[in-house]
Amino acid sequence: MEEKGPTKIVAKNRKAWHDYHILQRFEAGLSLLGTEVKAVRAGHIGLRDTYAAFDNGELYLFNLSIGAYRDQGYVVHEERRRRKLLLHRDELRKLARQIEEKGNTIIPLQLYFKGPHLKAEIAVAKGKREYDKRHQKEEARIARELDREMKSRLKSGR
């Protein structure tokens, strides 16, 4: 795939990795208004509680918060309107099949500019149970302790 300039990440969904098992990722374009693009470039964006869903065969992002652009003039956009995701037909069919499975959903992982275009990295994800989250925290704690122990042994020259 040909690169179209450098990528600049504008928003990340850090909570996604904590709350979901990520099954498969996709890159999608976003259909936005001019003031929305300018607001995103200015950093007025939030991914909290954002999800994607199908409506009449089209995939949309819901609850994506894009704040008002300071110099917008008479053109005003709605902050939390649904925004269309741009994907190939085959990718849309694949996503539709995967979310029919119980417990699967589509969430955005990050938004970034790829050249002049705003892209969304979306993922098919399955929600984690509470015990999964506890198990993950325990594994991370053990790994940290192991790293500390190895570091202290290397320093002392044993």
CB proximity list for 42: less than 8 A, separation 6 or greater: 69, 70
**How high is the pLDDT of residue 68?**
76
pTM: 0.72
Identify whether 11 is part of a domain: yes
Work out the pLDDT band at 88, boundaries 50, 70, 90.
very high
Rg (CA), the chain: 20
What is the domain extent for residue 118? 7-127
27, 125 contact by CB (below 8 A): no
- Return the DSSP state at 101: S
- Does one domain contain both 69 and 145? no
Mean pLDDT of the chain: 83
Mean predicted confidence (pLDDT) in 84-102: 90
- Does one domain contain both 115 and 138? no
Number of domains in the chain: 2
C-alpha pair distances (Å), 74 with each of 40, 69, 134: 18, 11, 50
In the chain, pLDDT over 70 holds for what percent of residues? 89
- Does one domain contain both 45 and 118? yes
**How high is the pLDDT of residue 108?**
93
Q: Tell me how far apart the alpha carbons of residues 15 and 146 are, in angstroms, rounded to a whole number.
A: 25
- Does one domain contain both 144 and 82? no
Work out the pLDDT band at 132, boundaries 50, 70, 90.
confident
pLDDT tens digit string along 33-82?
877 788 888 888 888 888 888 988 899 989 887 877 676 666 666 767 88
Identify whether 120 is part of a domain: yes
Identify whether 107 is part of a domain: yes
